[in-house]
């Protein structure tokens, strides 16, 4: 009888189980029963035929053994023998009794002993079943999955604590209610048909295999679930035990996995396209193989560094200041960086990595970083253009060799100008004799990562520095 109570509807048995947990009470019950049997026997002494002195004691002994257990039953037997022998067997003139009375006494002791032994065995069996039932109930209550027992009419008869938490109801709010209270309204007709089909051919199986199932919480919200059905007998009647698993986390994980696979496919395709372009332009401009190889490897390393930063941040974004710092590692004394403490999205991180790599490579080969007195200033600041918050990224060199404009357009210029114009509002590359100057104006919405402090600056208002330009470091 799964999930039905052994003592349900049996008050005497419930009382007996309580008494047996307190031995002193059991002995008290035995003494009281023997006393009651004695009073009854004395009251009807004139109505009972001679030779039946123990007739009222049999029920007392059986009840004492059933309620109190073995030892209270033995106490009731011994007490009954002593009292009946003294009050109803001994002649008034002495302590001698005849053989017939002795036989009656021995027969009473034997039958009482048999009754006590049988009742004790039954008690042990009942105690064992009750203990098993308690263990089952503990297991059901502590189960992490929701458990709901429904009768043939679709009425909820039992729920566990996990089902209460899952659906947001208290137990008394569910017991006696139709199971459809736990279903979205659109699923009720289908569920009734499925429940009737299950009862016609009950067998353990998942419910709605291959379909997305959902339950309805008390607040009206829906939760994705998996349901397993098992036929059981409850109080002698057919019932259904439903095991309900909340699969919200699994659904979210599956959706996240699909998103990640799609994103990985997209980014891999983009990466191959970028590498292909870098290879074509690095080896296709009439350079020597060694020079082309050096350019190609440097550009790939810059791209790899950006990808490593993005991977470390779970592709949520990368710090622009970190990208700048890694590309200019080893030149800290000659470089100043300000206003770049912001996270940019993966696409912008890739673009900035290539741009900064080209600027740094050019500065080391031909510009400010070639000279001990050369300096490079990298600055970021916010401004408002046409009602839109924009980032001004500035690369400014000074103190290096005199700069002259190149006679041909190489792949570095393609990265700095042509590729940058795809996502920037404007790009300025000036070959001033005193030092190269590169300005990039780009929309905040186009480059900011979801967790970037840049977005908060744009909302709260950028701060003005001494020159009147608003700086991101003001946030």
pLDDT of 265 = 65
The answer as to CATH 3.50.50.100 being correct for domain 311-474 is no
Write out the chain's pLDDT in tens, 475 residues.
444 455 555 666 667 667 777 778 888 888 888 899 888 888 877 666 665 677 788 888 888 888 888 888 888 888 888 888 777 776 544 456 667 777 877 888 888 888 888 888 888 887 787 777 777 777 778 888 899 999 888 899 989 999 999 999 999 999 999 998 999 888 888 888 877 777 777 777 776 555 678 899 999 999 998 888 888 877 778 888 889 988 888 888 777 777 666 655 655 655 565 566 556 656 655 666 677 777 677 767 766 766 676 566 555 677 888 888 887 777 788 899 999 888 888 888 878 888 888 898 888 888 898 888 899 999 999 888 888 889 999 999 999 999 888 887 776 788 888 888 888 899 999 999 999 999 999 998 888 876 655 443 433 333 444 334 433 433 3
Q: Are strands 335-338 and 213-216 parallel, antiparallel or unpaired?
A: unpaired
Structure tokens at 131: 């203990």
The β-bridge partners of 258 are: none
Place of tokens 């967790």: 451
Question: With DSSP H G I counted as helix, E B as strand and the rest as coil, what are the percentages for the chain, rounded to 5?
Answer: 55, 20, 25
Distance CA 235, CA 125 (A): 19
Angle at CA of residue 164, ends 160 and 167, nearest 5°: 135
Of 59, 65, 64, give the one whose Cα is nearest residue 37. 59
Distance CA 332, CA 195 (A): 73
CATH of segment(s) 146-246 = 3.30.450.20
Residue ranges per structural domain of the chain: 11-142, 146-246, 311-474
Distances from the Cα of 166 to the Cαs of 10, 154, 228, in angstroms?
33, 20, 16
Distances from the Cα of 211 to the Cαs of 226, 262, 397, 466, in angstroms?
9, 24, 64, 64
pLDDT of 438 = 95
What's the pTM value of the predicted model, to 2 decimals? Answer: 0.45
Structure tokens at 77: 């037997």
Answer whether 60's CB lies under 8 Å from 83's CB: no
Q: Collapsing DSSP states into helix, strand and coil, what is residue 95?
A: coil
Distance CA 450, CA 442 (A): 17
DSSP secondary structure letter of residue 314: T
Distance CA 67, CA 346 (A): 77
How many other C-beta atoms lie within 10 A of the C-beta of residue 351? 23
**Could you tell me the sign of the dihedral formed by the alpha carbons of 97, 101, 105, 107, in that order?**
positive
pLDDT of 419 = 81
Phi, psi of 41, rounded to the nearest 5 degrees: -65, -40
Total residues belonging to the chain: 475
Distance CA 210, CA 214 (A): 13
Answer whether 462's CB lies under 8 Å from 455's CB: no
DSSP secondary structure string, 208-249?
TTTS-EEEE-TTS-EEEEEEEEEEEEETTEEEEEEEEEE-HH
Answer whether 460's CB lies under 8 Å from 372's CB: no
pLDDT of 469 = 41
20 Rama class: left (phi>0) / alpha (psi -120 to 50) / beta: alpha
pLDDT of 328 = 79
Structure tokens at 297: 């490897």
Q: Are strands 463-464 and 205-207 parallel, antiparallel or unpaired?
A: unpaired
Q: Are strands 156-159 and 146-151 parallel, antiparallel or unpaired?
A: antiparallel
Place of tokens 């002495």: 94
User: H/E element holding 273?
Assistant: helix 248-283
How many other C-beta atoms lie within 10 A of the C-beta of residue 252? 11
Distance CA 354, CA 327 (A): 10
Distance CA 60, CA 139 (A): 38
């Amino acid at each position: 009888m799964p999930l039905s109570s052994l003592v349900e509807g049996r008050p005497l048995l419930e009382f007996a189980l309580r008494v047996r947990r307190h031995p002193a009470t059991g002995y008290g019950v035995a003494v009281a029963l023997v006393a009651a049997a004695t009073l009854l026997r004395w009251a009807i002494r004139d109505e009972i035929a001679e030779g039946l002195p123990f007739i009222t004691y049999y029920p007392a002994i059986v009840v004492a053994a059933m309620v109190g257990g073995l030892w209270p039953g033995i106490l009731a037997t011994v007490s009954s023998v002593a009292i009946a022998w003294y009050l109803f067997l001994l002649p008034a003139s002495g302590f001698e009794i005849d053989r017939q009375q002795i036989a009656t006494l021995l027969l009473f002791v034997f039958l009482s002993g048999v009754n006590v032994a049988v009742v004790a065995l039954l008690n042990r069996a009942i105690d064992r079943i009750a203990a098993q039932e308690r263990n089952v109930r503990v297991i059901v209550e502590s189960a992490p999955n929701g458990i709901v027992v429904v009768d043939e009419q679709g009425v909820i008869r039992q729920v566990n604590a996990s089902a209460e938490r899952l659906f947001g109801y208290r137990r008394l709010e569910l017991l006696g209610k139709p199971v459809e209270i736990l279903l979205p309204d659109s699923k009720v007709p289908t569920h009734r048909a499925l429940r009737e089909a299950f009862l016609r051919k009950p067998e353990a199986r998942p419910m709605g295999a291959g379909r997305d199932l959902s339950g309805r919480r008390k607040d009206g919200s829906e939760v994705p679930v998996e349901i397993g059905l098992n036929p059981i007998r409850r109080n002698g009647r057919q019932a259904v035990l439903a095991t309900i698993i909340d699969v919200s986390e699994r659904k979210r994980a599956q959706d996240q996995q699909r998103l990640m696979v799609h994103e990985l496919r997209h980014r891999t395709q983009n990466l191959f396209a970028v590498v292909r372009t870098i290879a074509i332009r690095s080896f296709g401009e009439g350079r020597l193989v060694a020079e082309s190889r050096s350019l190609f490897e440097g550009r790939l390393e810059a791209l790899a560094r950006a990808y490593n930063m993005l991977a470390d941040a779970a592709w949520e974004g990368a710090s622009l200041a970190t990208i700048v710092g890694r590309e200019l590692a080893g030149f800290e004394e000659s470089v100043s960086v300000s206003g770049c403490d912001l996270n940019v999205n993966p696409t912008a991180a890739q673009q900035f990595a290539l741009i900064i790599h080209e600027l740094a490579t050019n500065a080391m080969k031909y510009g400010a970083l070639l000279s001990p007195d050369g300096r490079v200033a990298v600055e970021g600041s916010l401004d408002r253009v046409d009602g839109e918050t924009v980032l001004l990224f500035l690369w400014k060199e000074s103190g290096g060799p005199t700069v002259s404009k190149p006679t041909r357009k190489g792949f570095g210029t393609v990265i700095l100008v042509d590729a940058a114009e795809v996502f920037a509002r404007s790009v300025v590359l000036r070959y001033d004799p005193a030092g190269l100057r590169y300005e990039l104006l780009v929309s905040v919405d186009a480059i900011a990562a979801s967790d970037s402090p840049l977005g908060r600056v744009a909302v709260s208002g950028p701060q003005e520095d001494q020159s009147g330009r608003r700086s991101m470091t003001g946030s």
